[in-house]
Amino acid sequence: MKKVIMGNHAVSYGVKASGVKVISAYPITPQTQIVELLSEMCANGEIDAKFIKVESEHSALTAVVGASAAGVRAFTATSSQGLLLMHEILHWAVGARLPIVLTNVNRSVGPPWSIWTDQNDSLSQRDTGWLQLYCESNQETQDTIVQAFKIAETVRLPVMLVLDAFFLSHTYEIVDILEPNDVKKFLPPYETDIRIDVEHPHAFGNLAGPDTYFELRFMIQKAMEEARDVVKKVDAEFKEHFGRGYGVVQPYRCDDADLILVTSGTIASTSRVIIDEMRDEGIKIGSLKIRLFRPFPFDEVYEVLSKAKKVAVIDRNISFGHHGIFFQEIKSALYGRTDVPIIGYIVGIGGRDVTPKVIREIAEKALNDENPERDINWIGVKM
């Protein structure tokens, strides 16, 4: 059924459709409506799940870790400082190989306090071992939740789904809402033999000496490498069931493009307005949205970008003392494989609006600057 709903509620409907058994969360703007609606659904029996209220995000993820270790599908949502408070347990969920799904609504980190969007909260969790998927529409957000559980349970790693504060979380638009009964065929109830079971006691999270820990880390990396294909396979299967698919990257009008803009999140959506506008003017330009950030889709990125004459990476984040984080990732993906120039642009931090005009400014700079500052160009700084 199609309905006009907000991005946060699209997440809730995705969780409802996934047959989740345990939800634990601590409210934080701008994700609050996700768990607010889920707690209502739990209270009125719309979903058969236990909602566990806790006193902090650290406890929320810990409760979800416990539930997942006991062999049930479990979910949490957070933002910004909340995600940072979860940091220790983010690592734990990976080491314990728990197929948890977490939604992070990108919110800038304080101080100074900000409730508006940028990607530094989720990107600073890059090396925890969570898969990360960045969404651009409410429909994609709902659908990706359902996909995320299937991916997580296949590779036994947790998945973080990421969306922009306000520009997506609080945006109302049309969503074809998934019916739990239709989803069951795609995502059957979760069953696992590896779980805490009082009838069959096992030790979990034991001490691992130097003779075994190394191999366990090797296995996580192997699972991550395998996840690249699993994400693609699950997306293709979802498309067979529901007619919608998103890929690991999304190229737009890239085939003969001289310049390709690399984007993520809502900026990916807005940028296509400018791609069409400039194409109408005869400028050969395209865009590449990175949907899957971890594991990084090296080959798909190479395949698209190696054909361009120039690449401009748009980052709504910054690694202080280095550059934009997507910029680093793209450079690393192309290193030694092509010498296409890559230029980095920083925009939109702290929720500064990224309009079609801003994207056009970047495209024109990238096309026309003879000797651009390659690594870092700040767009719109008022200094």
Partner 1 sequence: MIEIRTHGRGGQGAVIASEILADAFFREDKYVQAFPAFGVERRGAPVMAFTRVSENEIRERCQIYEPDHLIVLDPILIETVNITSGLKDGGWIIINTNRDMSDSPLLDRYRIATVDANRIAVKHGLGSRATPIVNTAILGAFSSATGLVGLDAVLGAVEGFVPLKKEENALATREAYESVSTLSRK
Give contact residues for partner 1 (rule: CB under 8 A). 2, 4, 6, 30, 115-116, 136, 164, 166-168, 170-174, 266-267, 269-270, 272-273, 353-356
Nearer of residues 225 and 276 to partner 1, judged by Cβ? 276
Nearer of residues 236 and 273 to partner 1, judged by Cβ? 273
Nearer of residues 59 and 270 to partner 1, judged by Cβ? 270
Give the nearest distance from C-beta 350 to partner 1 in angstroms.
13
Give the nearest distance from C-beta 87 to partner 1 in angstroms.
26
Nearer of residues 64 and 163 to partner 1, judged by Cβ? 163
Give the nearest distance from C-beta 92 to partner 1 in angstroms.
33
Give the nearest distance from C-beta 359 to partner 1 in angstroms.
10
Give the nearest distance from C-beta 380 to partner 1 in angstroms.
13
Determine the residue type at 147.
Answer: Q
Q: What is the 3-state secondary structure (H, E, C) of the chain?
A: CEEEEEHHHHHHHHHHHCCCCEEEECCCCCCHHHHHHHHHHHHCCCCCCEEEECCCHHHHHHHHHHHHHCCCCEEEEECHHHHHHCHHHHHHHHHCCCCCEEEEEECCCCCCCCCCCCCHHHHCCHHHCCEEEECCCHHHHHHHHHHHHHHHHHHCCCEEEEEECCCCCCCEEEEECCCHHHHHHHCCCCCCCCCCCCCCCCCCCCCCCCCCHHHHHHHHHHHHHHHHHHHHHHHHHHHHHHCCCCCCEEEECCCCCCEEEEECHHHHHHHHHHHHHHHHCCCCEEEEEECEEECCCHHHHHHHHCCCCEEEEEECCCCCCCCCHHHHHHHHHHCCCCCCCEEEEECCHHHCCCCHHHHHHHHHHHHHCCCCCCCCEECCCCC
Give the nearest distance from C-beta 28 to partner 1 in angstroms.
14
Nearer of residues 116 and 296 to partner 1, judged by Cβ? 116
Give the nearest distance from C-beta 166 to partner 1 in angstroms.
5
Nearer of residues 6 and 261 to partner 1, judged by Cβ? 6
Nearer of residues 272 and 323 to partner 1, judged by Cβ? 272
Nearer of residues 82 and 99 to partner 1, judged by Cβ? 82
Q: What does the longest C-alpha to C-alpha distance in the chain come to?
A: 70
Note whether 65 and 100 are within 8 A (CB): yes
Nearer of residues 116 and 149 to partner 1, judged by Cβ? 116
Note whether 80 and 108 are within 8 A (CB): yes
Distance CA 186, CA 181 (A): 10
Nearer of residues 177 and 340 to partner 1, judged by Cβ? 177
Give the nearest distance from C-beta 351 to partner 1 in angstroms.
8
- Cβ neighbors of 374 (< 8 A, separation 6 or more) are 341, 342, 343, 344
Give the nearest distance from C-beta 123 to partner 1 in angstroms.
19
Give the nearest distance from C-beta 112 to partner 1 in angstroms.
13
Residues forming a β-bridge with 101 = 75, 159
